[in-house]
Homo-oligomer: A and B are copies of this chain.
Amino acid sequence: MEDGTVERVRPRDRILETAQDMFHKHGIKGVGIDAITEAAGTNKMTLYRHFDSKDDLIIQCLRATACKAGAMWEKFEVQHPGNKLAQLHAWVRMAADCLTADGRGCDMANAAIELTDTDHPARRVIKELKEAQRDRLVTLCRDAGIGQAELLADTLSLLLEGARVSVQSVGTEGPSAQFVRMAEGLIVSFRGTAAG
């Protein structure tokens, strides 16, 4: 049978899933290849048959995580079809949920901080994915009828980025606790000054 849908999850997928989870929880430099393969129920050789190196694995993990995050946006469209303003508010709620539930920040931002070498191959991937993320939020703001869509999107981006970092340094009771109020206030404010 040539249907590719195998029941048992292939080692490559188990590795990718496990690595995402462990990188997220313990950081990239805080997790070794051996720990990943063991947690994934496989071994080092199999990992290196599917990924060129740890750096390659890191990049694939970042792409996979971004892909999952992308699915969120489709959920917004499904939940509020055509209503871009409602989708923007849904984005705020989703962001707030990330803050309280997660404890660890954005994988891409964390990776950018950990991988200090500016020539690291993951850096351009991080930049690429973050820019795509930004474009998406800008478009949503614009479609929601916000005048200065770029400025609102950038402000919300920085607020969320900062909140996700703040959670890790001072916890959920710190400044990030006010994230929703800040974001909603900004949206109201920008809608007030709306333009064509």
- A-side interface residues toward B, CB under 8 Å? 25-27, 29-30, 104-105, 108-110, 112-114, 116, 126-127, 130-131, 134, 150-151, 153-155, 157-163, 165-166, 168-171, 174-176, 178-179, 181-182, 189
Provide the bound-state CA to CA distance between A155 and B177, in Å: 10
Whether B169 and A165, one on each chain, are in contact in the complex, defined by CB atoms closer than 8 angstroms, is no
Q: Which residues of B have CB within 8 Å of A169? A: 108-109, 112, 126-127, 130
Most B CB within 10 A of own CB, among A170, A179, A189: A170
CB proximity of A105 to chain B, nearest CB, Å: 7
Most B CB within 10 A of own CB, among A153, A155, A175: A175
Whether B162 and A116, one on each chain, are in contact in the complex, defined by CB atoms closer than 8 angstroms, is no
Provide the bound-state CA to CA distance between A131 and B112, in Å: 25
Whether B130 and A104, one on each chain, are in contact in the complex, defined by CB atoms closer than 8 angstroms, is no
| Set B114, B165, B176: member contacting A27, Cβ < 8 A | B114
CB proximity of A19 to chain B, nearest CB, Å: 15
Q: Decide: A114 near B114, CB < 8 A? Known: A29-B30, A161-B165, A182-B151.
A: yes
CB proximity of A130 to chain B, nearest CB, Å: 5
Whether B116 and A114, one on each chain, are in contact in the complex, defined by CB atoms closer than 8 angstroms, is no
Provide the bound-state CA to CA distance between A30 and B115, in Å: 8
Nearest B-chain residue to A25, judged by Cβ: B116
Provide the bound-state CA to CA distance between A110 and B109, in Å: 10
Whether B126 and A154, one on each chain, are in contact in the complex, defined by CB atoms closer than 8 angstroms, is no
Provide the bound-state CA to CA distance between A113 and B115, in Å: 12
Provide the bound-state CA to CA distance between A8 and B162, in Å: 41
Provide the bound-state CA to CA distance between A84 and B25, in Å: 41
Whether A27 and B116, one on each chain, are in contact in the complex, defined by CB atoms closer than 8 angstroms, is yes
CB proximity of A57 to chain B, nearest CB, Å: 18
